[in-house]
Chains A and B, each alone.
Chain A
């Protein structure tokens, strides 16, 4: 086939122009004295120790395919199993086979939902989730509707807690799968997941329970031993490991169908050659997250509250999205700035070295505000001015001070542009 250059010329031109624009934007950031990265929700920096742990696995050892019969292959096999063992221990698994590596949270959620639906399609077609699940759960359930599955979305209260009564009503004999996040990725609500799962099992013991624990693993006390959960998603970058790796916990005896086909290696649910360095990085990041665990959590909570209290003390017309104190994940800060558009604010903050994301409609491809914020009853205008930040144990108090110094000025600038437009 000959590529029609004429036809393809426009999008390429557009992309080149965008690259030029980005270069200009980056130039505008030159000379920043202080930079604070708080967008852990969307990607993260990787600590030096993790990178150091990964590096030898690119060219010194274990770079072989773990299923093959030579030294680098056996080294890879050993390395992957040892890493899986570490993660299995932190998760509280019974066996290391329960840890199935995937390329990330999105893939693990796809595998959990599609793999279960395909497996149990003869038993029933009903799937139950909450209104505030991540996109990689929401969109999979929408896709499954094409194959005859139905989805019930359980509502949440103003702090993001799932309505347990509605959950109880929604479960019946046809319900094959329930998926509820342990911690909400946007507003940090620590779900009453144990109670929720008990309700589900009480009404239908055969229902498979999945939880996206990406924002719980390494961030709150979370253990598959204490929970009656069948499947759990964990992610590497959310605990400052490298991107491109995650895992799905599948309890022994639970069947999940593969959603991709290809050469199988050590991972029975995900074909293709294992990425040994990333798996090592994920295990190392887990080790670091669980080292001095309680101490880390307390430190993050301190920074989190300093950030929230500081913003409330310095800026008027702000709203906290999600619950407070112990009901909230240790790292999550989500605040709506009224009369202020979020995407414009992220850019203004970036120009001052503070990197965050927004639930504004403008930042989304479909130009609709964050479904999580809408589900907890936030008005469009509130979602529009929302900013999401996550602190880590690597942030210092000075970083938070810098954010508190910068944010009021940035908000003031954007509010100056907004004027009285759009204010009721």
Chain B
């Protein structure tokens, strides 16, 4: 998206999943447009796609409330090995919202200072991928 207000990435290609979200947000904090790119499996693509569908026209305050479980339900359920795909998609969304307010130097009351579950999980997955790729490099 060329006119995106904010761009957020979650995941790492080394762990097999990486999502980029592009959001266009208007001055009333409403998401006008949302698109994604996914370097991941079908579950990754599906959950990212569903998230962009869900949040179009939504206020950021409401978009923040989307949980990975509701995303999993919206795609018709995920097998347990693919839970992390849904978590990553929501993690990327929350990062985008956070990045938007950081850019505006404003912190709305409804946005917790502490990282949400999905953001923490995304961080953890990225860290795991880093360790894994480092370990593989040292083994060579």
Contacts and interface: CB of A to CB of B under 8 A. Distances in A.
Interface of A: 14, 17-18, 20-21, 24, 339, 341, 343-344, 347, 360-363, 365, 367-369, 374, 377, 380-381, 384, 417-423
B37 interface: yes
Contacts of A339: 39
B42 interface: yes
Given A367-B16, A377-B140, A380-B14, A421 B41 contact: no
Given A341-B40, A344-B40, A367-B15, A421 B20 contact: yes
B37 A420 contact: yes
B130 to A, nearest CB: 11
A343 B9 contact: no
A417 B45 contact: yes
Say what secondary structure dominates the interface of chain A. Answer: helix
B45 A362 contact: no
Interface of B: 9, 13-20, 37-45, 76-77, 79-81, 84, 132-133, 136, 140
Contacts of A365: 81
A341 B84 CA distance: 16
Contacts of A347: 42
B124 to A, nearest CB: 13
A423 B41 CA distance: 16
Nearest to B16: A361
12 contacts: A14-B77, A14-B79, A21-B76, A339-B39, A341-B40, A360-B16, A362-B17, A380-B16, A384-B16, A384-B39, A420-B20, A421-B19
Given A17-B77, A361-B15, A422-B18, A417 B41 contact: no
B71 to A, nearest CB: 15
Contacts of A20: 76
B42 A367 contact: no
A377 to B, nearest CB: 7
B40 A362 contact: yes
Given A17-B77, A381-B13, A421 B45 contact: no
Among A14, A362, A377, A420, the one with the most B-chain Cβ atoms within 10 Å of its Cβ is A362
- A-B CB proximity, top 6 nearest: A422-B39, A419-B37, A362-B41, A361-B16, A422-B13, A421-B37
A17 B76 CA distance: 8
Given A14-B79, A21-B76, A362-B40, 16 more contacts: A339-B39, A341-B41, A343-B42, A344-B40, A344-B41, A360-B41, A361-B15, A362-B41, A363-B41, A367-B15, A369-B16, A380-B13, A380-B16, A380-B133, A421-B18, A421-B20
Contact of A417 (B14, B38, B140): B38
A377 B137 CA distance: 10
A265 to B, nearest CB: 39
Contacts of B39: 339, 341, 384, 418, 421-423
Contacts of B18: 421-422
Contacts of B19: 421
Contacts of A341: 16, 38-41, 44
B82 to A, nearest CB: 8
Given A368-B132, A374-B136, A18 B45 contact: no
Contacts of B77: 14, 17-18, 21
Nearest to B39: A422
A363 B41 CA distance: 8
Contacts of A380: 13-14, 16, 133
Contacts of B81: 365, 367
